Amino acid sequence: MKQRLVQLIAQTELQVTEQQVQQLVGYVELLHKWNKAYNLTSVRDPNEMLVKHIMDSIVVSAHLQGENFIDVGTGPGLPGIPLAIMCPEKNFTLLDSLGKRIRFIKQVVHELKIANVTPVQSRVEEFQPEQGFDGVISRAFASMNDMVSWCHHLPAENGHFLALKGQFSEQEVAELPEWCSVTEVKPLQIPELEGKRHLVILTAKK
């Protein structure tokens, strides 16, 4: 599995250390092991997880500006765990309302010695952080309208929302609240993944 991950990463411009590869593979192994009991993801095959979960998450690391990020509706830690492994100098709060998913993330952080992740069990609408985030990230969480509406209190003054999406939807943009606009849409290239992927960056109007 390690060899395959190295080959996939070599098809991108990302740089990784041996330790980061070990941690990413370790995460897939834990996801595969715990999935049987905890039903964490519908992707059952570890090789498929490398593409659909690891590569799909880490390509976003090239687009993160700032220090403090929150991954809302993180589920088993996606994209937050792979991003935290790729960016050890940044801090990631991983939030989900389901206790078993947050318990799994705590175990991952402990076993893989990941120092820059704070797991939080809460509904996002009820979470009141001490300070705002440079980036509010989500994947497979909600429509963009629901995401920004539920998370409107989370970005710092110059922070952004970052939504990982498949096909870019003009319909979703049309439904956004008046106070929020799309500032950038970045197409993402994920080796061996069929279908389009985009990172949509949204900002509150000043």
Ligand X SMILES: C[S@@+](CC[C@H](N)C(=O)[O-])C[C@H]1O[C@@H](n2cnc3c(N)ncnc32)[C@H](O)[C@@H]1O
Pick out the residues of the known binding site.
Answer: 73, 78, 124-125, 139
Task: Report the nearest approach of ligand X to the CB of residue 205 (Å).
Answer: 24
Task: Report the nearest approach of ligand X to the CB of residue 54 (Å).
Answer: 12
Task: Report the nearest approach of ligand X to the CB of residue 128 (Å).
Answer: 13
Which spans of this chain sit near ligand X (rule: CB under 6 A)? 73-75, 78, 95-98, 101, 123-125, 139-141, 150
| Nearer CB in complex with ligand X: 78/136 | 78
Task: Report the nearest approach of ligand X to the CB of residue 113 (Å).
Answer: 23
| Nearer CB in complex with ligand X: 15/128 | 128
| Nearer CB in complex with ligand X: 79/159 | 79
Binding residues for S-adenosyl-L-methionine: 73, 78, 124-125, 139
Residue nearest to ligand X (CB): 75
Paired tokens of 48: 């498929």
| Nearer CB in complex with ligand X: 134/150 | 150
